[in-house]
Amino acid sequence: MRKAYIERKTAETDIKLRLCLDECGKNTNIDTGCGFFDHMLTLFAKHARIDLDVRCVGDVNVDYHHSVEDIGICLGLALKEALGEGKGIRRYGNMLLPMDESLVLCALDLSGRSYLAYGLEIPTEKIGDFDSELVEEFFLALTRNAGITLHLKQLDGRNSHHVAEAAFKAFARALREAISIDESAKDEIPSTKGVL
């Protein structure tokens, strides 16, 4: 089983995150202190078909920035640990995902190299009490710590909630494809270098 458990405590956040990439019961329990972000991580886990347990106590009296960024760090570290050397994975994934009027393209490479091409233009500064700019902060922290090359492009969308949700679902579906095992190459590292 490809699993990871990450604990991270700073002066701003105290996070415990458990991740399982394989058939682990499909249990997701999310408590970040922010309802909208809980919603995004819950649907991410569902569409990626992974188990994700996140508990975060953060300085939400300031805002959600530290919690969202630090959860991105922890999820990135957990993905990296759970994937190990990446033997047998498909490595690449992509999804063109509609969410009502919104349309988001996601393409990713579990390359070991961190890069984020962020092309979302979320129309409003806030989604409820959540700062829209934190979507980018989350994906930036995740890609840096997981070593993922990630492209997110908004092709259409006027509703901020829909754009963000389409991005998280597209990422989930693309990741699901990339972490899946290629049975014809299950003992191979998917790189001519021999390492990711």
| Alpha-carbon span 21 to 95, nearest angstrom | 19
Task: State what percent of residues in the chain have pLDDT above 90.
Answer: 91
Residue with tokens 């939400």: 60
What integer is the mean pLDDT of 82-90? 96
| φ, ψ dihedrals at 99, nearest 5° | -140, 90
pLDDT (tens digit, 9 = 90+) per residue, 92-112? Answer: 999 999 999 999 999 999 999
The confidence score (pLDDT) of residue 1 equals 84
pLDDT in tens, 14-38: 999 999 999 776 789 999 999 999 9
Structure tokens at 29: 């329990």
Identify the pLDDT of residue 187: 86
Distance between CA atoms of residues 177 and 182, nearest Å: 10
CATH code, residues 3-185: 3.30.230.40
Supply the pLDDT for residue 182: 94
The owner of tokens 């970040």 is 32
Instruction: Tell whether the model's pLDDT for residue 80 goes beyond 90.
Output: yes
Which tokens go with 59?
């300085």
Q: Is the pLDDT of residue 162 over 70?
A: yes
Supply the pLDDT for residue 193: 86
> Tokens for 56?
């975060």
Residue 120: pLDDT over 90 = yes
Mean pLDDT over each residue of the chain, to the nearest integer: 96
* CA–CA dist 36, 77 (Å, integer): 23
Compute the Cα dihedral for 116, 183, 180, 100 and give only its sign.
positive
pLDDT band at 186 (very low <50, low <70, confident <90, very high): confident
- What is the tens place of the pLDDT at every residue in 44-69? 999 999 999 999 999 999 999 999 99
What pLDDT shows up at residue 25? 66
Whole-number Å distance between alpha carbons of 174 and 166 = 12
Burial of residue 96, with CB atoms counted within 10 A of its CB: 0-12 exposed, 13-18 middle, 19 or more buried: middle
d(CA 58, CA 80): 24
- The separation between CA 1 and the C-alpha centre of its own chain, rounded to angstroms, equals 19
Sorted by where each begins, the domain ranges of the chain are 3-185
What radius of gyration do the chain's Cα atoms show? 16
Phi, psi torsion values for 181, nearest 5 degrees: -90, 130
Please determine, for residue 8, whether its predicted confidence score (pLDDT) is greater than 90.
Answer: yes
